[in-house]
Amino acid sequence: MLRFPNPERLPKVRKSMCRIKHVLTERAIEDPDPRRTAETKRMINAL
């Protein structure tokens, strides 16, 4: 367990991560291969 060096940045980090997940989900939805889409969605949800 390590402490986050700048705890005041946590809201920015969470917001950035949410935006990244949103973009990755949009890309996964657009993928024509359903197996790859499902795999990508599982990977995104694990983040």
Listed by start position, the domains of the chain span: 13-46
pLDDT-based confidence at 33, cuts 50/70/90?
A: confident
pLDDT score of 14: 92
CA 6, 11, 12, 15 torsion-angle sign: positive
Inter-axis angle of helices 34-46 and 10-30, nearest 10: 170
Decide: pTM greater than 0.85.
Answer: no
* Residues 27-40, mean pLDDT to the nearest whole number: 86
2: left (phi over 0), alpha (psi -120 to 50) or beta: beta
Is a pLDDT exceeding 80 seen at residue 1? no
pLDDT score of 30: 87
Distance CA 34, CA 47 (A): 20
pLDDT score of 28: 87
